[in-house]
Amino acid sequence: MDSLPFALLVAIFVAAAAVVWVAGIQLSQATDVLDARLRLGSALGGLIVLAVATNLPEIAITVSAAMSGNLEVAVGNILGGIALQTVVLVILDAFGKRGHGVKPLTYRAASLTLVLEGVVVVAVLAVVIAGSQLPQGLEVLRLTPDVVLIAALWVVGLILVQRAGSHLPWHEDGRAPDASPKPSKTGGDKKMSTKKAAFVFSVSALATLVAGVVLERAGDAASSQIGLSGVLFGATVLALATSLPEISTGLQAIRQGDENLAISDIFGGNAFLPVLFLLATVISGSAVLPQANGADIYLTALAALLTLVYVVGLIFRPQRRILGMGVDSFIVLVLYALGVAGLFAIAA
């Protein structure tokens, strides 16, 4: 795509974004039905089903980069997107449900299961930072200890979330008594059969995968023509493009009254993305995390900080809104803006 005119690249980017947006809405609706039929629960459904599906573009980009031996692209794509995907919660908070008297997103969701998911994200990111400091040459059977530990933490997180979804030794099983009620699934179940939901989910996931790759290619080519560096492109344009599925599915989930699914999709995706380092290591046969540069680690630390802000918000449930969003979302927005400014200083 590098030889295409800039205007055509922008048109391709917008068209692919539209496909991702529509597919994301269908993904959310199908996941809502599958959650109820398979009895996964909104949190676990977001953590596994929806999180993996909305991150299909990142999976494709990582596999392609690892096969070509371009591990820096694989690392930058994953770590550069986690912080921005956390900022998607700001968009969902500000635009998901508006009107006088509407409480912030973390107040309405209010679940210890979501707090647990946020803790898993921070734990995984801590291992990423530690793994980046390991030396090369630790590969055994095309694996390294850091990526194995990341995958193990993710699996343990799934088990804990599953247990938390069935029972927690807290009032209302970990849900605040005045949080949004669990949405009724009966209407959606009657309108869509399990087979149809699975078919819609599969087609929408495929559309997300193809359109996501097109987004990355068109955005990369366009950024090269305007002179945007690889690090800044990965942390801004590419991260935003590959976060479109999360925005689309999150807004749809909130309209369906399922704030837990919206937040769980973000936390679940952020916990899942570093697991792709295991895939990249197996494909390339080389240690991946030591390839991370200073900007990548900087963005990883920023993502952990933003996640912790939302974890605190889920625990303390602030009711005040600033500029149409919760206090926690406003703090995340300010921290991310400062973080991006620091990133420009690093890249300079």
Give the distance between the most distant pair of CA atoms in the chain.
60
Q: Amino acid identity of 253?
A: A
Name the token pair of 346.
Answer: 């690093």
Domain boundaries, the chain: 6-347
Which pLDDT score, from 0 to 100, does residue 60 have?
78
d(CA 17, CA 241): 7
**CA 202 to each of CA 49, 50, 189, 206, 335: distance values in angstroms, whole numbers, following the listed order:** 11, 11, 18, 6, 37
pTM summary value:
0.84
d(CA 235, CA 253): 26
Residue that the structure tokens 């996931």 belong to: 205
Q: State which fold the 6-347 domain adopts.
A: A middle domain of Talin 1 (1.20.1420)
Q: Check if the beta carbon of residue 125 is closer than 8 Å to that of residue 273.
A: no
Which pLDDT score, from 0 to 100, does residue 187 have?
46
d(CA 262, CA 248): 10
d(CA 67, CA 61): 10
The secondary structure of the chain, three-state, reads CCCCCHHHHHHHHHHHHHHHHHHHHHHHHHHHHHHHHHCCCHHHHHHHHHHHHHCHHHHHHHHHHHHCCCHHHHHHHHHHHHHHHHHHHHHHHHHCCCCCCCCCHHHHHCEHHHHHHHHHHHHHHHHHHHHCCCCCCCCECCECHHHHHHHHHHHHHHHHHHHHHHCCCCHHHHECCCCCCCCCCHHHHHHCCHHHHHHHHHHHHHHHHHHHHHHHHHHHHHHHHHCCCHHHHHHCHHHHHHCHHHHHHHHHHHHCCCHHHHHHHHHHHHHHHHHHHHHHHHHHCCCCHHHCCHHHHHHHHHHHHHHHHHHHHHHHCCCCEECCEEHHHHHHHHHHHHHHHHHHHHHC
Residue that the structure tokens 């699996």 belong to: 155
Tens-level pLDDT at each residue, the chain (348 residues) = 777 888 898 899 888 888 878 887 787 778 777 766 766 555 555 556 666 777 777 787 788 778 877 777 778 778 878 888 899 999 999 998 877 778 999 999 878 889 999 999 999 999 999 999 988 888 888 899 999 999 999 989 888 887 876 676 766 666 677 777 666 554 444 567 888 888 888 898 888 888 877 877 787 777 777 776 555 666 666 677 777 778 888 888 888 888 888 898 899 889 999 999 999 899 988 888 988 888 889 999 999 999 999 999 999 998 999 998 999 999 999 999 999 888 878 866
Which of 106, 81, 121 minimizes the C-alpha distance to 179?
106
